[in-house]
Amino acid sequence: MIEKIPFGRTGHNSSRIIFGGASLGAMKQDRADATLAKLARVGVNHIDVAASYGDAELRLAPFLATRRTDYFLATKTGLRTKDQALAQLTRSLERLQVDQVDLIQMHNLTNQAEWEVAMGPGGALEGLVEAREQGLVRFIGVTGHGTYCPSMHIQSLEAFDFDSVLVPYNFSMMQNPQYAAEFDALYDLCQTRQVAMQTIKSNALRRWRDDDREKRYSWYKPITAGEPLKRSVDFVLARPGLFLNSTSNATILDGIFAAANEPVNMPSSNDMAADAKLLGIEPLFVKDVSDEVILAGA
């Protein structure tokens, strides 16, 4: 079974593989049911979804109807004002058919202008704190994409005592010295404060190109199998305290689960560099060049 460790200071022991609900967004209900049925078999007990993930919240509802207490349930709002965020959270609760989520996250809060709105008077944070006081949520987190994510999360943690963060992390991104330094600073801060640290894009290969012919289940081309996939998972799990949020490409879920169930060893830099050369792995995000996200899924 996949290892479970404390999810920050929440009191919940979460599986180190967190199920990324973005994979359910375009699925029919029967396929979503079959996908979700795998979670208990491998020991995944934490689900991460978002209001913006298509029909994912709706697809989760039948599964949660009889299993709500078995799973730590997180969702997200990308809206930046108090009223908007509260309204979207209310809609998420209705779509999920639950009275409460364990974690609500401010989604992709990496733009300074949006940060000022969300964190300021009448901003989304005010609404989420109010929702916590009302018992609609238990914990509050913040997520992000792009190269500004670690530094912006540090700024967020200096302004508010968030319970969790979510940030891109893989070998190719950590070859950028500035990104690596900012990620490490965020990691140290989260370890000190017992803030749960979720990671995304572990198995990202590169952005799609016009001549790629594969079917596209995620907004980036993934590493799909074999030792390179195993090493991409191990790169995350070998670092203490990190969680790996699974991809929106459900076709490689079994491979990710299998890799996490096997002994974890930090891959050598030589092996990771060889994978990058063989597969043509490129960083998804380059500062001020390609920091945007095509879709909001993991």
pLDDT at 205 over 80: yes
- Helical (H) or strand (E) element with 143: strand 137-143
Higher-pLDDT residue of 295, 165: 165
Kindly indicate the confidence band of residue 188, based on its pLDDT and cuts at 50, 70 and 90. very high
CB 39 within 8 A of CB 76: no
Residue 107 Rama label (left phi>0; alpha psi -120 to 50; beta): beta
pLDDT at 270 over 60: yes
CB 150 within 8 A of CB 179: yes
pLDDT at 30 over 70: yes
Kindly indicate the confidence band of residue 294, based on its pLDDT and cuts at 50, 70 and 90. low
Kindly indicate the confidence band of residue 225, based on its pLDDT and cuts at 50, 70 and 90. confident
- With tokens 């095509």, the residue in question is 294
Kindly indicate the confidence band of residue 216, based on its pLDDT and cuts at 50, 70 and 90. confident
Q: What is the pLDDT of residue 176?
A: 95
- Whole-number average pLDDT of the chain: 95
Q: What is the pLDDT of residue 290?
A: 79
Q: What is the pLDDT of residue 29?
A: 97
Q: Which amino acid is at 105?
A: Q
Kindly indicate the confidence band of residue 293, based on its pLDDT and cuts at 50, 70 and 90. low
CB 262 within 8 A of CB 219: no
- With tokens 């994912």, the residue in question is 56
pLDDT at 84 over 80: yes
pLDDT at 61 over 50: yes
Higher-pLDDT residue of 124, 215: 124
Domains and CATH numbers, the chain: 4-279 (3.20.20.100)
Average pLDDT over residues 265-279: 96
Ranking 52-56, 119-123, 195-199, 292-296 by mean pLDDT, the lowest is 292-296
pLDDT at 108 over 90: yes
Ranking 47-51, 85-89, 185-189, 216-220 by mean pLDDT, the lowest is 216-220
Q: What is the pLDDT of residue 296?
A: 42
Ranking 44-58, 76-90, 115-129, 218-232 by mean pLDDT, the lowest is 218-232
pLDDT at 177 over 70: yes
- With tokens 């969300």, the residue in question is 118
Residues of the chain above pLDDT 90, percent: 90
CB 73 within 8 A of CB 98: yes
CB 24 within 8 A of CB 63: no
pTM here is 0.95
